[in-house]
Amino acid sequence: MQDKKGPYTSAHTDLGLNAEPDHKLVARIAKGDRAAFAVMVDRHTNRYLALAHRVLGRRDEAEDAVQEAFVKFWKNAHRYERGKARFTTWFYRIVVNQCLDKKRQRRLLTLPEYYDAVDEGPGPDEAYREKQLAEYVNDALKQLPERQRLAIILCYHEGLTNKEAADLLEVNIKALESLLTRGRRGLETSLGEMGKTLLDMMDQS
Amino acid sequence: MTQMKMTFKQFESLVVSYGGQSERWPVDLRKAALQFMGENAKAKEIAGQALNIDRFLDAVPVPEAASDAFLERLHRISSEQTNTVPSKSKRQNVIQTLLDLAGLSMPRPATLIPQAASLFVAGLVGIMLGLSTFGIPASAERADAYAYMFGNPSLETELLELD
């Protein structure tokens, strides 16, 4: 019997539940099974937190977006239809929508967009150059239009297939490829000579 | 299955969309693209150029994993939020249990529309065929003949003469 109060972690669950596939756990969650929810949280949080962090560029907002997505999942698990999409694709859409909502709120509040501060302390040259390059690329990604950036994050960083990414963005594959092409060209233009210089320096080190 | 032959334009379009790493190319095009790149030096060159953008994207660090405090926040959701389980009738519950046992999902009304439409069309065609085969006899004389035949099957030859 599950206790009514207090966090329910997957440590409470038996090994059998941990081995169950997503769709079976979702069916349990739809009936209010907290242990199944705990397993899904442990199984998927890192993946979606990374996605939200990449889309939003801020850790605090990424955590809020993922938390809100999991609240929606807990409340609406009965709406998941196994035949229509894999759980991961279905939940991608919830997380991406939460992230876009956060961005809209940010625009209304005119909060600045920034990437989490990188430790500026002195370190080995190579590590410093890597940080510098990461900052350049993050800045360049930030300058891309929202959908081009999302297309790159979903296909490149998240490793979704073109079909999955196109479904998430609600476009056909041709349109997705157009977003990717324009995004990559935009990135190349933004990074310009400085980016190439940093890559050359990394090659030499 | 026959292997699709790729053109330079198709290859270029593939590389500017998905980058220079072949493992990121769509599976259905990968084999043809690799073959094309193997035979075409210019294709190899543009794939190499695309790798520079890939390297920029690889430079973005993987975000840190969730902290224990954050995971605890997520675990609390199920104890703090109400899980709105929709109420189902007893009949629906029985059907759902049977479907669960069979590893199937409950069909939604919208998904049944094509089947219903097919049944309707099939029914309509059946009725039309039926009417054309057993049509109302064209004249009173033929109607009498049909009635006579069904009453006396042995007289079928007489009916054939009428036709």
Q: Is there a domain that residue B72 lies in?
A: no
B55 vs A contacts (CB less than 8 Å): 199
* pTM as predicted: 0.68
CB of B79 closer than 8 Å to CB of A66? no
Nearest to B19 by CA among B69, B63, B58: B58
Q: Using the beta-carbon criterion (under 8 Å), do B75 and A41 form an inter-chain contact?
A: yes
Q: Using the beta-carbon criterion (under 8 Å), do A63 and B70 form an inter-chain contact?
A: yes
B94 reaches A (C-beta below 8 A):
no
- pLDDT, residue A2, reads 46
CB of A100 closer than 8 Å to CB of A165? no
Domain locations in chain A? 1-115, 117-205
CA distance linking residue A93 with residue A69, whole number of Å: 9
Count: domains in chain B: 1
Q: Is there a domain that residue B46 lies in?
A: yes
Alpha helices (runs of H) in A57-121, residue ranges in sequence order: 59-76, 87-109
Q: Is there a domain that residue B51 lies in?
A: yes
Query: What range defines the domain where residue B13 resides?
Result: 8-58
- Architecture of domain A117-205 in this structure: Orthogonal Bundle (1.10)
Model confidence over B114-149: pLDDT tens digits? Answer: 777 888 888 888 787 776 655 555 566 665 655 555
Instruction: Evaluate the CA torsion angle A67, A69, A72, A77 in order and state its sign.
Output: negative
User: Regarding predicted confidence, which is higher, A103 or A120?
Assistant: A103
Q: Is there a domain that residue B80 lies in?
A: no
Q: What is the distance in angstroms between the Cα of B15 and the nearest Cα belonging to chain A?
A: 9
**pLDDT, chain A, mean:** 85
Model confidence over B71-80: pLDDT tens digits? Answer: 999 999 998 8
Model confidence over B94-117: pLDDT tens digits? Answer: 776 777 667 666 565 556 677 778
Structure tokens at A204: 């030499």
Nearest to A95 by CA among A61, A121, A68: A68
B49 reaches A (C-beta below 8 A):
no
Q: What is the distance in angstroms between the Cα of B151 and the nearest Cα belonging to chain A?
A: 57
Q: Using the beta-carbon criterion (under 8 Å), do B16 and A185 form an inter-chain contact?
A: yes
The reply to whether domains A1-115 and A117-205 share a CATH topology is: no
Q: Which residue has the tokens 């065609």?
A: B125
Nearest to A96 by CA among A140, A136, A62, A52: A52
Q: Is there a domain that residue B23 lies in?
A: yes
Model confidence over A9-20: pLDDT tens digits? Answer: 666 566 688 889
Assign a CATH topology to domain A1-115.
Rna Polymerase Sigma Factor; Chain: A (1.10.1740)
